[in-house]
Amino acid sequence: MALSFDVLRSRDFRLLLCIRTFGMMALQSQAVIVGWQVYSITRDPFMLGLTGLTEAIPAIICAFFAGHVVDNGRPHRIYLICMAVLVLNSLMLFIMAGGLLGNHDHQNILPWIYGGVFISGLARSFIMPASFSLLPQIVVREKISAAAAWLNSGFQIAAISGPAIAGLIYGGYGVQVAWILPVSFMSMAFMALASISGKPRSYRSREQREAAIQSIKAGWVFIWHNRVLLSVMALDMFAVLFGGAVAMLPAFADQVLHVGSQGLGALRAAPALGSIVTALILALWPLKRIRATMLLCAVTGFGCCMIGFGLSQLFWLSMLFLALGGMFDSISVVMRATIMQLLTPDSMRGRVSAVNSMFIISSNEIGAFESGAAASLLGLVPSVVFGGLCTLVVAISTATLVPKLRRVVVEADKPA
């Protein structure tokens, strides 16, 4: 099978890849800085989880409306506005949370941090459906699988470099210098997005606007009747909701592994290190036939890795389990993104992606809150092990209760 470099010949796709990479480097480095700064101030795992809830609330509330706006507007324009908001937001965090004005009172810094996280969630609720709708205008159907893998590779590069650089700079030069990273990376992403060519910039899925309530209802009806999409979204949501341990990494770095902020950056990068290997393989040899059983196996593997991470007290072993978990997660991400792109018509892309973003945000940000609450109730290590066990239960239950999903096969090179 020939290696799939063809999609990289498109200038607009290369720009989209840069946007994905630089934008996620900004958000990933911001997450490390926020996590370590909040934990340094409060020493409370629950407050770490609260940062996830703060980002999830506006993202979930706005998701319904965001999909409608994207499907009735120009995805590129909406994307550009949201990226501009994130640039200004990261600049605000640099000034206020970085103590640029000489304000080092922790009680005054925390509200600014949580406010910045809230704004980030608000902007990201529109970014996800906008970017999802923009991709098919740049990449043809038969290259969607390869494009999804390349974009996931860019995400994983960001997930490796963003946290690692942020952790090193935070530990070596302090919080004020570290906050420069999100501002710089987000600005580069914004400039790349502004450089996309005219055709994708002017694209809109329909010429006449549809009433908001009618539009949102139509989106939910479409997803509800497409049980494959619904099952894939729900499987990922519940698996990561219970099994994700990323929000607790600052506490693990401090209490269990004793490696400080530099070690935290490495721990944050470990899942991406495993993910990028898998994502590059799937980008070079893209999936032509996707079986849902592979997705169920990937979720099961992810749950086992989280159990291993929770039980480990050795830094290198914890890194290994996180990296293996990242490999399984990468398979899940690429397959889910490809299935969604291939099964969603152009006129529904914004709304389907918006609903999917609700599932993703529920699994990641609310999952972070769940992890913090569980750690407060059960203890740090038991909460992570329990979450991994719950992920295994989710995979087994889905395979048992939705037998149709086990028979699903999606062909990437066949017409929609």
User: 119 with 132: CB under 8 angstroms?
Assistant: no
Closest CA to 367 of 252, 229, 239: 239
Q: What is the DSSP string of 174-229?
A: -HHHHTHHHHHHHHHHHHHHHT--HHHHH--S-SS---HHHHHHHHHHHHHH-HHH
Q: 11 in helix, strand or coil?
A: helix
What is the number of residues in the chain? 416
Exposure of 12 in the CB half-sphere (CA atoms within 13 A): 15
Sequence-separated (6 or more) residues with CB below 8 Å from residue 173: none
Residue-wise over 220-232: b if at least 16 C-beta within 10 A, else e?
A: eebbeeeebbbbb
pLDDT for 240: 67
Sole residue written with tokens 């809150």: 369
At 45-104, the pLDDT tens digits run: 777 777 877 887 887 788 778 887 888 888 899 999 999 999 999 999 998 887 777 655
pLDDT for 245: 66
pLDDT < 70 regions, the chain: 1-4, 102-107, 205-213, 215-216, 240-247, 261, 287, 358-370, 411-416
Distance CA 21, CA 56 (A): 22
At 16-61, the pLDDT tens digits run: 999 999 999 999 889 888 888 888 888 777 777 778 778 878 877 8
Sequence-separated (6 or more) residues with CB below 8 Å from residue 102: none
Farthest-apart Cα atoms in the chain, separation:
61
Q: Which two tokens stand for residue 395?
A: 């995979």
* Spacing of C-alpha 7 from chain mean position: 22
Closest CA to 153 of 267, 277, 244: 277
Distance CA 43, CA 236 (A): 30
pLDDT for 273: 80
* Spacing of C-alpha 138 from chain mean position: 21
Q: Which two tokens stand for residue 413?
A: 């090179």
pLDDT for 190: 96
Sequence-separated (6 or more) residues with CB below 8 Å from residue 272: 155, 156, 157, 158, 159, 160, 163, 326
